[in-house]
Structure 1
Amino acid sequence: MKKNSVQVSVVMPNYNAGKYISEAIESVLNQDFDNFEFIIVDDGSTDESREIIGSYARQDNRIIFLQNPKNLGIAPSLNRAIKIAKGEYIARMDSDDKAHKDWLKTVYTKIISDSRLGVCGTNLNIVDTDGKIKYLKEYPRTNQECRNTIGMRNPFAHNSVIIRKEVLEKVGYYDNDMLFAEDFDLWIRIGQYYTFYNIQEFLINYRIYEKNSICIHQKEMIRSTLRVRKKAIKLGYKIGIFGRVFYFGTWCAQFMPSKWVLGIFNFIYTKKNTF
Structure 2
Amino acid sequence: MQKQLVSVIIPCYNQGIYLEKAIESILSQSYRNFEIIVVDDGSTDQTKEVAQKYPLVKYVYQSNQGVSAARNIGIKNSTGELVVFLDADDWLLPDALFININYLIQNPEAAFVSGAHELFYQPENKSWLIQKEVTENHYCNLLQGNYMGLPAVGMYQRWVLNEFQFDTNLHYCEDYDLCLQIVRKYPVVHHTAPVAVYNFHEDSVSSNHVEMLKYALLVLNKQKSIVLNEPEEACLQKGLNNWKVYYSEKIYNKLLYQLYDLNLQVDKEGLEALKENDQELYFKFIAENKFNDNVDIITGA
Q: What's the TM-score once normalised by structure 2's chain length?
A: 0.75
Name the residue aligned to 2:34.
Answer: 36
Name the residue aligned to 1:152.
Answer: 144
Letter in 2 for 1:260: N
Structure 2: distance between partners of 1:109 and 1:122: 12
Name the residue aligned to 2:217.
Answer: 226
**Alignment partner for residue 72 of structure 1, among 36, 48, 65?**
65
Q: Could you list the per-position Cα deviations for residues 5-47 of structure 1 after superposition, in whole angstroms to 9, with x for gaps in the alignment?
A: 5621111101122222111110001111121111111111222
**Alignment partner for residue 52 of structure 1, among 50, 66, 79?**
50
Decide which structure has the larger Cα Rg and report it: 2
Name the residue aligned to 1:20.
Answer: 18
**Alignment partner for residue 126 of structure 1, among 107, 119, 127?**
119
Q: Note the residue ranges of structure 1 that are not aligned, 5 or more in a row.
A: 263-275
SS at match of 1:200: strand
Structure 2: distance between partners of 1:94 and 1:184: 14
Structure 1: distance between partners of 2:199 and 2:61: 24
> Measured at CA, do residues 162 and 204 of structure 1 come closer, stay the same or move farther in structure 2, by a change above 3 Å?
same
Larger mean Cα displacement after TM superposition, 194-203 or 87-96 = 194-203
Structure 1: distance between partners of 2:131 and 2:247: 24
Q: Could you list the per-position Cα deviations for residues 190-233 of structure 1 after superposition, in whole angstroms to 9, with x for gaps in the alignment?
A: 12331122221122111111101011x32122111112212223
Letter in 2 for 1:199: H
Residues paired across the two proteins, number = 251
Q: CA RMSD in A?
A: 2.5
Q: Could you list the per-position Cα deviations for residues 87-137 of structure 1 after superposition, in whole angstroms to 9, with x for gaps in the alignment?
A: 111111111112111001110111132222111111111113389443221
Letter in 2 for 1:67: Y
CA contact (8 A) 2:84 2:154 kept: yes
SS at match of 2:83: strand
Structure with the greater relative contact order (CA < 8 A, sep ≥ 6): 1 or 2? 1
**Alignment partner for residue 199 of structure 2, among 197, 207, 216?**
207
Structure 1: distance between partners of 2:93 and 2:127: 17
Q: What's the TM-score once normalised by structure 1's chain length?
A: 0.82
Deviation at 1:255, TM superposition (A): 6.0
Letter in 2 for 1:15: Y
Report sequence identity in percent.
Answer: 24
CA contact (8 A) 1:14 1:42 kept: yes
CA contact (8 A) 2:143 2:180 kept: no
Structure 1: distance between partners of 2:233 and 2:251: 27
Letter in 2 for 1:45: S
Matched, 1:173 2:171: no
Q: Note the residue ranges of structure 2 that are not aligned, 5 or more in a row.
A: 256-301
Letter in 2 for 1:23: K
Q: Could you list the per-position Cα deviations for residues 221-259 of structure 1 after superposition, in whole angstroms to 9, with x for gaps in the alignment?
A: 211111221222321264464652441353466766636
Structure 2: distance between partners of 1:132 and 1:75: 29
> Measured at CA, do residues 94 and 131 of structure 1 come closer, stay the same or move farther in structure 2, by a change above 3 Å?
farther
Letter in 1 for 2:73: R
